[in-house]
Each structure stands twice: as structure tokens, then as C-alpha cells.
Amino acid sequence: MESTKILDAKGLACPMPIVKTKKAMNELEAGQVLEIHATDKGAKNDLAAWAKSGGHELLHTEEGDVFKFWTKKG
């Protein structure tokens, strides 16, 4: 999946992945995609809830040693 920007949030504990994601999304224009890499297990639920509440769309998630999320700015 193609992304406009990649955010490295690996090694950060809650709430930092969300804080960094919010800052990075503010730099994007509507329709652009942010790819987020995180290692915090809570990031999956946190990012899904944050995206929904902020009017953004969580397009895809990949799980492994590093969680990867693609979020489209609403």
C-alpha cells in the first residue's frame, strides 16, 4: 500500500504513538495516507479508535513484531 508519509513509533509506549500520529496527520492533506510503525500492543485498538473519532479511515493493519497501520486523513 502506498503512503504519503511514514511515522516510526517503534519502542514508544501509550500514549506516545497516538500523540505522534496526531502530529503527523496534522501535516498531511485530506486524502493522504500515513503509515505508522509501532511495537506497543495497545496501539492497534488505540489507533483504530482514534482514527474513527477523528474522522480518519484506518485502511489496513499488519501484525508481526512491528504493527503497521495505514490511515487515510479524512
Active-site positions?
A: 14
Which residue in this structure is represented by grid cell 501535516?
27
- Residues 66 and 38: beta-carbon distance below 8 Å: yes
Q: Name the H helices within 12-60.
A: 16-26, 43-53
Chain center to CA of 50: 9
Q: What is the DSSP letter of 40?
A: -
